[in-house]
Amino acid sequence: MTVYLDHAATTPILPEAAAAMTAQLTAVGNASSLHASGRAARRVVEESRERIARALGCRPGEVVLTSGGTESDNLAVKGLYWSRRGQDPRRVRILSTPIEHHAVLDPLQWLASEGAKVEHVAVDRLGRLDVEAFRHAVESDPESVALVTVMWANNEVGTVQPLAEVVEIAHAHGIPVHTDAVQALGQLPVDFAASGVDALTITGHKVGGPYGVGALLLRRELQLTPLLHGGGQERDVRSGTIDPPAIAGFAVACELAVARQPELATRLDALRQELVAGVRRVVPDAVHNGDPATGPDHRLPGNVHLAFPGCEGDSLLMLLDARGVECSTGSACDAGVPQASHVLLATGHDEEFARSSLRFSLGHTSTEADVAAVVEAIGPVVERARGAALSTRAGRPGRPGRAGRAGRSDRSGATP
């Protein structure tokens, strides 16, 4: 039996979403065509857009459909920067955090190579943005800030960011705020209007929808420079032929994720606490990363991020996988060499600690039996991984620290 605890990477599609998608797969018609088949396809898209808008507290015209989280993040970060910079050449600064997903960090790095001044405001030991440092960064020269991008909840350690305070500080100076809410939707209450943000990223396969579809919720009055040019679809913001079957499945998944969120959060938080307690009972020196508190202002209910001192996370991952337990590491591999998690490094941990972590992420199919399987397997797995690490260190005394890129993760939050 396989125990799947990598829901933050992707979660199984909901039967209702699969049914909605399947019902449209044999239909013919480009939603941009004017004939009857095209109008039928357009109707599917627009009805789905309305369902997404109702579920997430926005207007249908504020739902820009995309291929997923990476495109939405790139569209928000680059599009807002170019638009704001075009309106006022002084706006060259972008404020963010060092723990963003690479779908945000890499576009920021690229923009920096093109002349933008990117500032990553510090986070604390729990992975939460330092609000006073952020306030100082904004108020030191607000006219030069093009935009702010701060994720809703961290994909690795699960800590929820103080988004309301970020919005209040930024909006006092007319600065737009983007948030990556990919991990938050379905686990935390997400309401676009109530949040006050100006742009918000979501994706389908994290909430029980299909792969390859997502959205950028974008305030109607906000100008944004498109990345793609062609047919002028999606408010002239995102050109390209749209996918009615995937969008139909995505809309159903969004509706159900929001409707079921309170019940799911309660169940996942109970499983999370059971998992943390069980692992620490077997491995007493395991370290629970992120905010230890419970609740929508603190951490994702389905996220369990643990460090195992003396182990390499990739070794733990493979040993667990051999026992039928699927999770992800808190670090990533570049050409087969484990790299330290950029999130844990940003919270003040050293590289050895940052390479020793695992992320178990719970979702709608998770059960107490899954938790019990992890607790049963983790003891011998940690013992074997520590033995292997000791042998490696004994064979190569005084080896230099590994260098390379900061720990990377794919759009899903999983690590390759």
Residue linked to tokens 């920067």: 81
Which helix (H) or strand (E) segment holds residue 368: the answer is helix 368-395
Residue 36: Cβ-neighbour burial (10 angstroms; 0-12, 13-18, 19+) = exposed
Q: How far apart are CA 268 and CA 265, in angstroms?
A: 5
Q: Is 333 designated active site?
A: yes
> Exactly one of 254, 311, 327, 333 is catalytic; which is it?
333
Q: DSSP class of residue 19?
A: H
CA dist 381 → 153, 282, 323, 386 (Å) = 29, 11, 9, 9
Cβ(247)–Cβ(51) below 8 Å: no
Residue 162: Cβ-neighbour burial (10 angstroms; 0-12, 13-18, 19+) = middle
Q: How far apart are CA 195 and CA 179, in angstroms?
A: 10
Around Cβ 263, how many Cβ atoms within 10 Å?
A: 9
Residue linked to tokens 């030069």: 144
Catalytic positions, please? 333
